[in-house]
Amino acid sequence: MLLGKTIVITGISSGIGARIGELAVAEGADIVGVDLNPPARPLDAFIKADIGSAQGVAEIVQTLPRRFDALCNVAGVSGMIGAAKTLAINFYGLRELTEALAPRLREGGAVVNVASIAGYGWRANLERAKAFVSARGFSDLGPLLAAHQVPDGEAYPLSKELLLLWTMRAAHQPLFKDRGLRINAVSPGPVTTPILKEFRQIFGDPRVDDDIARVGRAGSAPDIAPAVLFLCSDGARWINGANLPVDGGLEASINATVLGF
């Protein structure tokens, strides 16, 4: 279902992004990769850029092809670089890039945002999430972070909460909806990529180990890639504004704990 399609993948050079690219090529797609670091394998096209700045987003937009079929927003950071920069990369840059590229996606095309089980708390933090999602562009986030007392350690979960909320909103915004563009999210649980070590530093071993114990093992990039590419395909043409947990059942386990069933 991907034969002949052109897919843009941010974060192409490592972890989940690299595996998505490999599998997409195997299924017959042409790949345009975006990353700060060069990929280990040759691609149809590669753009070296930082999505965490307005200039970086502009460079990507100027360089990408005029028409493509799907955008996979995979690039992200753990939160160790501070709250403002983490939000700029994980949410604001992602959103600005997606909105800028919407006119280039073919009608019926797809956007897939790689979120996280860490964004589970968006409902409990809804008013905070709404305030951050309402901030446009790369505005100064200092006052907003201070007003909501967001420490650096909460930056990653917050960025994924915003991404999940925006995914649902964007699915019904005219920019996307009027051209039949689908926007969905995939939320992995703990995955054995290089960033997992940083999550252990941020969240602590007990939390990470508990999440893994709930489902029996940590995930891997090959566990996540097929779900992302399914949402890129025409087989997912009636799926829009959804979040697909690809976490071995972790969200179900947390729901059972939180909701008491």
Residue 236 lies in a domain: yes
Residues 6+ apart with CB under 8 A from 3: 27, 28, 29
Burial 237-255 (b: 16+ CB within 10 A, else e): eeebbebbbbbbebbebbe
Residue 26 lies in a domain: yes
Tell me the pLDDT tens digit for each residue of 68-120: 999 999 999 999 999 999 999 999 999 999 999 999 999 999 999 999 999 99
Residues noted as catalytic: 156
Residue 133 lies in a domain: yes
Residue 1 lies in a domain: no
Total number of domains in the chain: 1
Measure the CA–CA gap between 105 and 8, rounded to whole angstroms.
10
pLDDT value of position 254: 96
Tens place of pLDDT for every residue, the chain, 261 residues?
A: 899 999 999 999 999 999 999 999 999 999 999 999 999 888 999 999 999 999 999 999 999 999 999 999 999 999 999 999 999 999 999 999 999 999 999 999 999 999 999 999 999 999 999 999 999 888 789 999 999 999 999 999 999 999 999 999 999 999 999 999 999 999 999 999 989 999 999 999 999 999 999 999 999 999 999 999 999 999 999 999 999 999 999 999 999 999 999
Residue 201 lies in a domain: yes
Residue 98 lies in a domain: yes
Measure the CA–CA gap between 119 and 117, rounded to whole angstroms.
5
CB of 141 closer than 8 Å to CB of 87: yes
Helix, strand or coil, per DSSP, at residue 33: strand
Residue 69 lies in a domain: yes
Backbone φ, ψ for residue 135 (5° rounding): -70, 130
CATH number at residue 116: 3.40.50.720
The residue segments making up the domain with residue 128 are 6-259
